[in-house]
A and B are shown apart, each in its own frame.
With several copies, the nearest count.
Chain A
Amino acid sequence: MEQELQEPVERQLAEESWSGSSDGYQVKLEIFEGPLDLLLYLIRKKKIDIHDIPIAVITRDYLEYLEKKDRINLDREAEFLLIAALLIYIKSQMLLPREQEAAESDDPRQILVDRLLEYQKVKIACNFLREKEEDQLMRWRRTFLPPIARPEEAELLEVSLFDLAETFFLLMKKREKENLRIIKGKDVSVEEKMKEMIDYLEANGSMDFLEYFSAQETLEEALVSFFCLLELVKNHLVIAIQEQLFQTIRVWLRKARSHHQHGHSHE
């Protein structure tokens, strides 16, 4: 699969964070994915039950970590400080005298415990995905088609004049049924139309037969366009191609047409 699946920026951060540690096992803040990661690490290190966290102890450890850092990104620091504030708040709540035996749900630690439990699940999922990733990264899939059963190049059928005409007249018949309104009195010259079509082809590269004709304002104009196209095909100035049977017909200018076209316009 694709390369560069690791953000070099983040990796660099992680590597830097390991450097220059004076205290043997001391790890710095950046290697933790966030404050919850750090908290979870502390809880595990002390083999503490997540449902019964000694808040005073953990708060002290947590703050100790924050103080030991030598440099951390300000944005990240804010996130670590936010959880520090929460810890201190919980600690203060725990110290308040209670009027009566608090129900379990009143435990001020609950909010933190819920977040830690959720985060713990995320960590497990991460481990699972990491294993899967490692396996997949060592598997290679083919990204090319093997040669013999090569698909045919998009099946291009050159369209005969007959096909062209048939398609057109079927189309016209359909349009007549749709109560085509015919605006009379507008003369369309073959020369003009032919020039218009070539201009269009030159500007757009190719045209969609059906769309072009159905976009013509009047039946007369459509007919004139059609005869122009026949003329162009006959003179090998354009090529009409049907990509697949029963699909639209596309018209392209033939290459090396400039000479012909020149001659043609002088007729």
Chain B
Amino acid sequence: MNEQLKAILEALIFISQEPLTLEKIKEALGEVPEDELQECLKSLIEGYSAVHHGIQIIQSGGGYLFTTKPEHDQWVRKLLQIEKKSKLSSAALETLSIIAYHQPITQAEISAIRGVDSTYCIKTLLQKKLIKIVGRKKAPGNPLVYRTSEKFLQYFGLNSLEDLPKEEEIAKILDEEKQSVS
């Protein structure tokens, strides 16, 4: 293990304002053997996952990032004198899930899946920058087309859209639910 590289990576992840991507690491450090880099990152993450640490490195939005651990939320809030952070409304979350799975998608398509007009939710999500307009659909009326944003991934602590449950996983969850109901 290249201890010095590991230390530098720790410093870089610590200092970065955004989740630190591999590209940026490479840009900053120049030539580093890929396997050595991966090894150090893995070891760093593992080290911080130990119980005696109050901070942790998570992968979010395609990069590495230090955060405090969820179990210390109350102490952090007490220190910073901040109220509990509020969640998205269920309507907004529903709209967002549909966009996540069906992107790029139009307002009409979202509303059709939900069975409810979703203009207001879309507006809210745009303002929170969790989704973005990415163009227009070649269809009558040329409606605007939406996608989830970078911030979407970061907000939910997802590394990429790949982290969303796959079709099979969802089917499995549904199966389990069915069994537990009957």
Asked whether any CB of A lies within 8 Å of a CB of B in the complex, the reply is yes
Residues 245-263 of chain A: 1 if any B CB is under 8 Å from the residue's CB, otherwise 0?
Answer: 0011010000000000000
Q: Is the CB of B116 within 8 A of A34?
A: yes
Q: Is the CB of A132 within 8 A of B156?
A: yes
* CB-nearest residue of chain B to A35: B115
Q: Is the CB of A129 within 8 A of B97?
A: yes
A6-B111 CB under 8 A given contacts A147-B67, A206-B119 = no
Q: Which of B2-10, B37-45, B73-81 contacts A (4 or more CB under 8 A)?
A: B73-81
Q: Is the CB of A33 within 8 A of B114?
A: yes
- Expressed in whole angstroms, the Cα–Cα distance for A1 and B18 within the complex equals 12
For the complex formed, measure the closest distance between the CB of B176 and the CB atoms of chain A, giving whole angstroms. 10
For the complex formed, measure the closest distance between the CB of A8 and the CB atoms of chain B, giving whole angstroms. 9
* CB-nearest residue of chain A to B111: A204
Q: Out of B60, B117, B143, B156, which one reaches A129, CB within 8 Å?
A: B156
- Expressed in whole angstroms, the Cα–Cα distance for A14 and B90 within the complex equals 10
Q: Which of B66, B90, B100 has the most CB of A within 10 A?
A: B90
Q: Is the CB of A5 within 8 A of B88?
A: yes
Q: Is the CB of A76 within 8 A of B116?
A: yes
Within 8 A of B (CB), among A107-124: 115, 118-124
A149-B77 CB under 8 A given contacts A44-B181, A139-B157 = yes
B residues less than 8 Å from A243 (CB atoms):
120
Q: Is the CB of B113 within 8 A of A119?
A: yes
Within 8 A of B (CB), among A148-186: 148-149, 151-152
A residues less than 8 Å from B113 (CB atoms):
115, 118-119, 122
B residues less than 8 Å from A79 (CB atoms):
115-117
Q: Is the CB of B96 within 8 A of A206?
A: no
B26 within 8 A of A: no
A residues less than 8 Å from B143 (CB atoms):
215
Which residues of A pack against B, CB within 8 Å? Answer: 1-7, 10-11, 14, 33-37, 44, 47, 75-76, 79, 82-83, 115, 118-126, 128-130, 132-149, 151-152, 204-208, 211, 214-217, 243, 247-248, 250
Which residues of B pack against A, CB within 8 Å? Answer: 11, 14-15, 17, 56, 58, 60, 65-71, 73, 76-77, 80-81, 83-94, 96-98, 100-101, 107-108, 111, 113-117, 119-120, 122-124, 128, 136, 141-144, 155-158, 164-165, 167, 170, 173-174, 181-182
